[in-house]
Amino acid sequence: MMRKGMIFLAFVFLAVTAGALEYFPLQVVFVRPGTPTSIVLATGTPDELANLLFTIVEPPKNGVLLGFPPELVYIPAEGFIGTDWITFLVQAIDGTIFDYGTVQLRVLGPLEMMAPSFRSEGSLTFSGPAFALDSYRFDFGFYGRFVYLDAQAHATWDHTGFSSFRTIAQVELEGDWPSPWRLPITSTLTFNPPTLSLTFWTVDARTLVLGWNIAYYFYYSGADPEMGSYATFTAQGSIDRYSLTSRLKYATLTPTFDEWTLNLSGPWPFCDCPIKWDMEFVQKKAGFDRLGFTMRDVPIPCPICEALRIYLDVRITFTTEMKEVEPALRLWSGLLCVRPLVSLLTPPTGFGFSGLEVYGMEIRCDLPSGYKARFATSFNPERDSAVTGYPDFFEVIQLEGPVIPCCGSPGWWQFSFYFERASGRLFGLAMLDANMYIPISREFIAHARLQAGLIPGAPTKTWVLTLGWRALF
């Protein structure tokens, strides 16, 4: 056990950034024996994270995983020293694969050292019909651990040149008074090499207080330090059977209140039934923003269909300008789940309903050995993007499942077939999107994605092929 005031430094692997959203598809996390350790798969605003679905494809074999993605806690098994793994899948709400990631958990002794290692990640994107190289990206990292000092640096080259240089350092404070405590503080510096300027700087601090996870996140914008910077304070915990998340956001470099988000969830308190609920309250600087309430898994009796279970989910959202009711029916029969996509129409003023619109249908099927199938179709052209993820297509068929593990490492594949309404093609098939993550070994994953047909946003291209890899050496 480290003594009071001891400082532990660590570096984590490069993140992929998309605006304020950051996700971490390849990480190495150092863990001390028997010590709960935080693992963050992605960071971002509540709205950004709500649009992503995280699935743990393979949990660690030598420890316990607690929490809900993207924020997890890993506790190694008693006496375990060695390497453990987590494999996870990130998908968009429409089911399309967003990314496929791995976390290497290295449980090391207090004074154990590790020889320097290297990390490589890259991708090349080609398109047809001319087989042109559209873009490429190569990222290289150096990593070494010496007792309590971990050092790592990353450099990225793409088709624009030397585009990024980043270091991610973690300082972990630890003490014994008044009770044992740990405070990991992660600092990220990202530079723009061509201009020798700071792109952004982030600081993330997390700790556990009386069973509650307390987090602080600071974002400093190199391009616009005053207006582009912000800080957030988050508290997550539970009271009896109910979960609570409170998030405060302060905008600008001079801290100014910007937003408060409160989320409550749990089982229905008025009966011993499977109904669950959650509530979201958002207050912004200008005043009240929205209040949302959701009831899930409300059973609907059906005496004449004993083999079929019918559930209703209802979300009600209030703002200062409108109210919205979003019901969702699910018909479940063991392996098959059918969900009519329903929207209740409300009058512009007052309460009540002015109509009911069934704008689509979704069917999900869980097959043996972890394989899945999804069929979704839109009846309303204005709702196409909400159903399929693209405004160009009204119908999608998705098949996905695990790749047969090689050398103990799992992979994943997904084939999506998109259809358009007016088409001279067979059955209206407009685009094929094939996505595969193939494990060569535990330390090496190859990635291939092929889009063929009508490519959204690129009408002159007939296909787009991306080949990539992620590796630890």
Look up residue 108 and give its two tokens: 């090391």
Strands 197-209 and 97-107: unpaired
8-state DSSP, 46: H
Under 8 Å between Cβ of 472 and 443: yes
Residue 385 lies in a domain: yes
- Supply the pLDDT for residue 358: 83
Under 8 Å between Cβ of 386 and 361: no
Cα 284 to its chain centre, rounded Å, is 25
Q: Residue 422's domain spans which residues? A: 367-473
CA atoms of 315 and 110, how far apart (whole Å): 50
**DSSP 3-state assignment of 195?**
helix
Strands 230-239 and 242-251: antiparallel
Residue 46 lies in a domain: no
Residue 153 lies in a domain: no
Residue 247 lies in a domain: no
User: Count of domains in the chain?
Assistant: 1
Per the DSSP assignment, residues forming a β-bridge with 236 are 213, 245
Residue 233 lies in a domain: no
DSSP codes of every residue in 151-187: EEEEEEEETTEEEEEEEEEEEEEEE-SSS-EEEEEEE
pTM of the model: 0.77
- Supply the pLDDT for residue 348: 61
CA atoms of 436 and 412, how far apart (whole Å): 6
Q: pLDDT per residue over 56-71, tens digit each?
A: 988 999 999 987 888 8
Cis ω on the peptide bond leading into residue 60 (within 30° of 0)?
no
The angle at the Cα of 256, spanning 255 to 260, to the nearest 5 degrees, equals 115
Residue 450 lies in a domain: yes
Residue 459 lies in a domain: yes
- Supply the pLDDT for residue 393: 93
Place of tokens 């400082």: 7
CA atoms of 237 and 433, how far apart (whole Å): 40
- Supply the pLDDT for residue 259: 92
Residue 405 lies in a domain: yes
Q: pLDDT per residue over 231-240, tens digit each?
A: 999 998 888 8
Using alpha carbons, select from 125, 114, 190, 193 the residue that is nearest to residue 159: 125
Cβ within 8 Å of residue 89, ≥6 positions away? 54, 55, 57, 97, 100, 101, 412
CA atoms of 365 and 367, how far apart (whole Å): 6
DSSP codes of every residue in 295-360: EEEEEE--TT-TT-EEEEEEEEEEESS-EEEEEEEEEE-SSEEEEEEEEEE--SSSSS--EEEEEE
Q: pLDDT per residue over 10-54, tens digit each?
A: 333 344 444 467 777 888 887 878 778 888 888 777 777 878 889
Residues of the chain with pLDDT under 50: 1-19
CA atoms of 253 and 229, how far apart (whole Å): 5
- Supply the pLDDT for residue 15: 45
Please tell me the number of Cα atoms within 13 Å of 3 on its side-chain side: 0
CA atoms of 149 and 29, how far apart (whole Å): 14
- Supply the pLDDT for residue 14: 41
